[in-house]
Amino acid sequence: METAKRTYTEPKPKKRWKKTVFILGMILMAIVAGLVIFVSVYTSRSLPEVSGEIQLESLSSAVEVVRDKQGVPHITADSSRDLFIAQGYVQAQDRLFQMELARRQASGTLSEVVGEATIEQDQYFRTLGLRRAAEASLSAYSDEAIQSLEAFAEGVNAYMEEAEEGNRLPPEFALMGFSPDPWKPVDSLTIGKYMAFDLGGHWERQAFNYYLTNEFSEEQALELFPAYPDDAPKVLEETEQVDVAASFKDIVIPHEFNGSNNWVVSGEMTESGAPILADDPHLGLATPSIWYQMQLSAPDYDVSGVIFAGIPGIILGHNNHIAWGVTNVGPDVQQLYLEKRNPEDSSQFLFEDEWEQAEVIQEPIRVKDQETLDYEVVETRHGPVISEFAEQSGDDVVLSLRWTALDPTTELEAILEINRAENWNEFEKGLEKFLAPAQNFVFASEDGTIAYKANGKIPIYNNGDDALLPMRGWEEEDLWQGYIPFEELPKTVNPEKGYVATANNKITDDNYPYHISHNWAQPYRYQRIVEMLEEKEPLTSEKVMDMQMDVKNLQAQEFVPYLLEVTKKEALSESETAALKLMQEWNYEDQKELAQPLIFHSWMANIQEELYNEAIPKEMLDLFHGAGQTTDELLRKVQDSGSSIWMNKNGGVSEVVTAAYQKTMTELTKEHGGTPVEWTWGAGHAVEFTHPLSNIQMLERFFNPGDPLPVSGSRITVRAAGYNSKGLVNHGASWRFVLDLENMKEAYHLIGPGQSGHFRSEWYHDQLKDWVDGEYHLTTTEGYEGRELTLTP
């Protein structure tokens, strides 16, 4: 009886439990469904209105905004003021969160909304003082430019107020739990200063060279210098040394490969008989794009192209008369100075045998959910003391930074002028006000003129070798000797060869009287562009677009035969030998379907590791900008029967190359399997365009839709595609542009991943696959169709 009773009663709790689980599951599903509906409704509500009519009190007359099929806004206004109000409003519609992050990062105020995780980053940008430099620049602008900045800010603020009142701010603000403060003209200038920071100026390499001189023999140090000076820089006395590795362990370093391609060809080389201009700036690849494409039309404006979100005007593009594009010159515009501090007064520094008072600036840092952090910045006559960032303030010798971008500069003034230029003379006149960062401008006009100018403030050194190392802050003779005069900057107009091209390569010969830089990009992109331009076939827009997508690897073409020659074949396994034969069959193209690029780029990276990693700590290798260029020079040196100290100390070139190859094969076999012929470059080289909040759990599927896409190209091909240690392509052509001046009303563009910063927008990632496949869209400046929005007073 008892057994029967137990058998009868035991199932009851199971049934109740199943019923309870079912009910809880239904409740959970209802909650999730409700949350999904809420999120869907909220995010849909926060999408910008792109059609209909919206009232803006600050306008004096109606403004038409037509977004075409790619989401490119074409803005037409009756006055410049209304035009810039509308530009600010429209940019905020599509990119407000990006604009907010950009001004906070550059200003050093991320911790207010992020918390303690960004304190060190904020300290670094407060120390640099980008916002202080922007504030100082305001007084250098004309009344007209200030009015344009103010009008732009009015438009941004009009959208902010409207979105807040309607609870329609972009979803990122709700996720982070804050609302944006009103936009100010100085915010736009601060973002401009950040772009100068992003394009660098080589102080990191000076710090690395300084480390080399203090840690290695003179011969070892000089072999890794970016140039081999006739008079070796003197190693500083022991009492004048700074612990560089400790001083810069937490700094924010711009991407080493920030650069670009551009070229312009005369009508003599084109099928149409008119010039063709091409530009593809290489910057970080993320969502949203660093660029925002627009057309601006008013009685005194009609310009089309791209601008950084948060800034008025068009920085790159064309109007009805001219077209232009840029690459980074990469000059030595940043100089580290050793500073001797007064042991009796930490705010005084030696200059010409006297103690000089530095400026001590209070920069309190507000931190979310914590007390405000007191923070001081010390500025000497040269600039901010940046080694204090790593709490080295007690030392008697510190490092300060002199940098052209920390001076008052007027880039926006220049942009507004060149937007309205109609010929080379007017364009060049506008460039006088474009001071930082220094850029290689290529130009073409409807009258057939093509031109080039390396433009910006570039300091004059007593001796070009001075820029290799920190200089003495206490000696007047080590100060910059002014700047290269504007009329003497490198320039060419209508060159006989019929074209001008730049790819961050060396731009001057030994006859040029001034020092520009020790840190040029590897020459392969430039060499390949010139090869294609000199094929003598009449060029069309289509051929030029194909050129921008070219993946011929001239570095591999130069070095693979030598690497194969010096590899110790007897030390290789059967699979390693088979892969080596695979390299012999390579056409030297970095195509995503091929195995050879995967092997080659890993091999070269491991050669660098074999040479440097054991002797140089990681925090210093992070400052070793141009390591690839240096490694190339060492390989050339030994290939030409020379001797390399760094090769010899690692066992000689055969030992280095073989060890690197075997390490490469071990790593790739582990990652991709044991059959090299089945490997592909795309399996280790893919692009995603990540959103800044996508690393938060559960948000990736919203902000980074889809899996990373395999992509061709590399850091040293014309089709630039740099990648991180995980194989994720995070750097390359953020915008591609081609214009045949036969028709100034049409140009080819490509912005990855799309125009919008809102993940629910149809223009969020609509150009991602196009970016991978090299498919451009044609933008017309008249006769366009799309969604029509009218902004009315």
Q: Report the distance separating Cα 229 and Cα 220, nearest Å.
A: 14
| Structure-token pair, residue 463 | 């001796």
| Beta-bridge partner residues of 20 | none
Is 30's pLDDT higher than 80? no
Give the per-residue pLDDT at 247: 53
Q: Are strands 439-445 and 322-328 parallel, antiparallel or unpaired?
A: antiparallel
Whether 242 maps to a domain, the answer reads: yes
Q: Tell me the mean pLDDT in the region 62-68.
A: 98
Give the per-residue pLDDT at 13: 44
Give the per-residue pLDDT at 545: 98
- Per-residue confidence band for 471, with pLDDT thresholds at 50, 70 and 90: very high
Q: How is 595-623 classified by DSSP, letter by letter?
A: SHHHHHHHHHHHHHHHHHTTTS-HHHHTT
| Structure-token pair, residue 370 | 């914590």
Q: What angle do CA 237, 240, 242 make, to 5 degrees?
A: 120
Whether 294 maps to a domain, the answer reads: no
What are the residues whose beta carbons fall under 8 Å from the beta carbon of 202, sequence distance 6 or more? 330, 332, 333, 334, 467, 517, 518, 519, 625
| Residues 538-579 pLDDT 10s | 999 999 999 999 999 999 999 999 999 999 999 999 999 999
Is 399's pLDDT higher than 80? yes
Given 679, 704, 720, the domain boundary residue is 679
Q: Which of 417, 415, 310, 317 is nearest to 89 (CA)?
A: 310
Given 679, 702, 722, the domain boundary residue is 679
Task: Give binding residues as ranges.
Answer: 332
Contact call for residues 201 and 332 (beta carbons, < 8 A):
yes
Which 3 state secondary structure label does DSSP give 792?
strand
Q: Report the distance separating Cα 193 and Cα 31, nearest Å.
A: 46
Which 3 state secondary structure label does DSSP give 483?
strand
Q: Report the distance separating Cα 436 and Cα 407, nearest Å.
A: 9
Query: Which residue is catalytic, options 111, 260, 445, 756?
Result: 260
pTM confidence score = 0.92
Is 9's pLDDT higher than 50? no
| Structure-token pair, residue 476 | 């007047």
Contact call for residues 92 and 99 (beta carbons, < 8 A):
yes
SS (H, E, C) 690-718: CCCCCCCCCCHHHHCCCCCEECCCECCCC
Whether 413 maps to a domain, the answer reads: no
Q: Please name the helix (run of DSSP H) or strand (run of DSSP E) that holds residue 443, with its range, or none.
A: strand 439-445
| Beta-bridge partner residues of 307 | 292
Give the per-residue pLDDT at 313: 98
Q: Please name the helix (run of DSSP H) or strand (run of DSSP E) that holds residue 221, with its range, or none.
A: helix 218-223
Q: Report the distance separating Cα 418 and Cα 427, nearest Å.
A: 5
Whether 351 maps to a domain, the answer reads: yes
Q: Report the distance separating Cα 721 and Cα 344, nearest Å.
A: 52
Q: What is the mean pLDDT of the chain?
A: 91
Give the per-residue pLDDT at 258: 61
Is 697's pLDDT higher than 80? no
Which 3 state secondary structure label does DSSP give 535?
coil
| Structure-token pair, residue 284 | 């970080």
Given 374, 406, 438, the domain boundary residue is 406
Whether 166 maps to a domain, the answer reads: no
**Checking phi first, is residue 53 left (phi over 0); if not, alpha (psi -120 to 50) or beta?**
beta
**Lookup result for tokens 């731009």:** 507
| Residues 159-205 pLDDT 10s | 999 999 999 999 999 999 999 999 999 999 999 999 999 887 789 99
| Residues 360-388 pLDDT 10s | 999 999 999 999 999 999 999 999 999 87
Q: Are strands 301-308 and 686-687 parallel, antiparallel or unpaired?
A: unpaired
More confident residue, 608 or 44: 608
Is 336's pLDDT higher than 60? yes
Give the per-residue pLDDT at 200: 76
CB atoms within 10 A of CB 779: 24
Is 33's pLDDT higher than 50? no
Whether 376 maps to a domain, the answer reads: yes
Count of structural domains, the chain: 2
Give the per-residue pLDDT at 252: 66
Q: How is 283-337 classified by DSSP, letter by letter?
A: EE--SS-SEEEEEEEETTEEEEEEEETT--S-SEEEESSEEEEEEE-----EEEE
Q: Tell me the mean pLDDT in the region 245-253.
A: 58
Contact call for residues 470 and 480 (beta carbons, < 8 A):
no
| Structure-token pair, residue 464 | 């070009």
Q: Tell me the mean pLDDT in the region 458-476.
A: 91
pLDDT over 90, % of the chain: 83
Is 31's pLDDT higher than 60? no
CA distances from 526 to 23, 538, 596 (A): 67, 20, 23
More confident residue, 263 or 258: 263
Give the per-residue pLDDT at 698: 76
Give the per-residue pLDDT at 724: 93
CATH of residue 618: 1.10.1400.10
| Residues 709-757 pLDDT 10s | 999 999 999 999 999 999 999 999 999 999 999 999 999 999 999 999 9
**Lookup result for tokens 């105020």:** 109
- Identify whether 694 is a catalytic site residue: no
Whether 617 maps to a domain, the answer reads: yes
| Residues 405-442 pLDDT 10s | 999 999 999 999 999 999 999 999 999 999 999 999 99
CATH of residue 232: 2.30.120.10
Whether 504 maps to a domain, the answer reads: no
Q: Which domain holds residue 662?
A: 554-588+595-679
Task: Give binding residues for Ca(2+) as ranges.
Answer: 332
DSSP 8-state class, residue 568: -
Q: Please name the helix (run of DSSP H) or strand (run of DSSP E) that holds residue 376, with its range, or none.
A: strand 376-379
Q: Report the distance separating Cα 769 and Cα 759, nearest Å.
A: 16
DSSP 8-state class, residue 737: E
